[in-house]
Chain A
């Protein structure tokens, strides 16, 4: 295993190697220990500044990144779009360059348009972490899901050969995309399930199977990942009624009876109780939903540590964004 993590940004699971994923999950396992201490803080990223730039609403992810930054002793600043100059019509690029002029070490960005973090990463000298871009990827979520499963099963190598079932609106889910890519890379076999309107044509090219019959699909699964029904995105009417959806694709105790006894149930949250997952399943012993939240913190601490905690290409990360030519160079591009 390489001892280094030479990467400026974390933009997606797609361009991560298996070794890098193992490295991130291994470090995250160490950071879980910090959360169990009385003093839940380490001085590692003292003096670093991390900006959370969220163009979409988020409680879990933004709070998780913020607490992770603070536990590493970095200064975390949250920018909620509703109360910022973005409302005055500033472009994304201008916002980012202005933020960079204040020399942060990392910008965590969530945006409704796919590709936003990738674009920012090209403009900015500081690290960029993708906290969800459009319908594309949500890498830290996939990493915490992989960590949750590997913790439960007792090792990262246990992901190899596992059968993962992802159920719901795969077409509108960046969580699904990152998880398909991530679990497949680790040797697991992923099946996606949902009404045909919610399964994009050609999804098999990501390396997964499609099954529209949930009752049948749930039988073989070691892990069932329920996606949130994104009611705010579903004006188009992708299913006849919520009740029908819940009956066919909601995970309830009836469907769970057909599953393996030790099946693991995941949900990225926030859950719609009674819709995609029934309360007795969400709160039952198979559900690792709250474990996912705890692991999310550890994964994000690990990401900050690996991206900001060392020298990249011979330049100290601390000095990188202090380069006085930084902004000028960017404008020339």
Chain B
């Protein structure tokens, strides 16, 4: 398998720092915000964003995880998926939810995550922050905060490694033999 690194630890850190600033700027502060990551790596990114925002504003935002597995539209197409953590730290009713994921691809995970969120209440709005946008959307979904746009081919796979789970901090592009079958596999 061919793979090349496209973001190193420093680049990831800088991108997250910029996204943290953008979130604060766009929302004119941190009031009413809640950070929810999509497990596994999205929830680690959410925690890193929480730390960045704390450094800038001195506010520790409520941070959690929203598992979209039970809301996916491809459950009947692949083997039973393991459930991940679901941790809504505070009522999202009337709050601005910043949804955090590692790689934005078809948009189907985000759709599922938004449906999951709606079952917990009616947020004021949902904003989407991703570390990498690799294109090839299949649903009308757009990220509000993007770490890096990486144009890819469908037979490539973009993977984020985080030291919290993978002992490394980098974004790599891999060429997969299965190509399209690998979509958004997590």
With both chains docked as a complex, state the minimum distance between the C-beta of A4 and any C-beta of chain B, in angstroms: 4
Q: How many of A's residues come within 8 Å of B, CB to CB?
A: 26
| A311-B78 contact in complex given A30-B86, A39-B119, C-beta closer than 8 Å | yes
Q: B119: which of A3, A37, A316 is its contact (CB, 8 Å)? A: A37
Contact A316 B79 (CB under 8 A): no
Contact A4 B79 (CB under 8 A): yes
Interface residue? A286 (CB, 8 A): no
Which chain B residue shows the least CB distance to A307? Answer: B80
> B residues within 8 A CB of A305?
70, 80, 83
Residue among A3, A43, A44 with most chain B CB within 10 A:
A43
Contact A43 B79 (CB under 8 A): no
> A residues within 8 A CB of B85?
30
Interface membership of chain B positions 73-98, coded 1 if the CB is closer than 8 angstroms to chain A and 0 otherwise: 00111111111111000000000000
Which chain B residue shows the least CB distance to A29? Answer: B83
With both chains docked as a complex, state the minimum distance between the C-beta of B65 and any C-beta of chain A, in angstroms: 11
26-77 of chain A: CB within 8 A of chain B: 26-27, 30-31, 33, 37-39, 41-44
> B residues within 8 A CB of A37?
119-120
Contact A43 B115 (CB under 8 A): yes
Interface residue? A115 (CB, 8 A): no
What interface size band does chain B fall in?
A: 10 to 19
Q: B82: which of A3, A33, A39, A317 is its contact (CB, 8 Å)? A: A3
> A residues within 8 A CB of B120?
37-39
Contact A309 B82 (CB under 8 A): no
Interface residue? A306 (CB, 8 A): yes
Interface residue? A95 (CB, 8 A): no
285-316 of chain A: CB within 8 A of chain B: 305-306, 309-312, 316
Contact B71 A43 (CB under 8 A): yes
> B residues within 8 A CB of A3?
79, 81-82
Contact B70 A310 (CB under 8 A): no
With both chains docked as a complex, state the minimum distance between the C-beta of A322 and any C-beta of chain B, in angstroms: 12
Contact B80 A316 (CB under 8 A): no
With both chains docked as a complex, state the minimum distance between the C-beta of A205 and any C-beta of chain B, in angstroms: 33
Contact A318 B76 (CB under 8 A): yes
| A316-B83 contact in complex given A37-B120, A42-B70, A43-B71, C-beta closer than 8 Å | no
| A309-B75 contact in complex given A3-B82, A27-B82, C-beta closer than 8 Å | yes
Bound Cα distance A10, B70 (Å): 21
- Selected A-B contacts with CB under 8 Å, 10 pairs: A6-B79, A23-B82, A30-B84, A33-B86, A41-B119, A42-B71, A43-B115, A310-B81, A311-B79, A316-B76
Using a CB–CB distance below 8 Å, which chain A residues touch chain B? 3-6, 23, 26-27, 30-31, 33, 37-39, 41-44, 305-306, 309-312, 316-318
Contacts A5-B79, A42-B71 aside, 6 further interface pairs with beta carbons under 8 A come to A27-B82, A30-B86, A37-B119, A37-B120, A39-B119, A44-B75
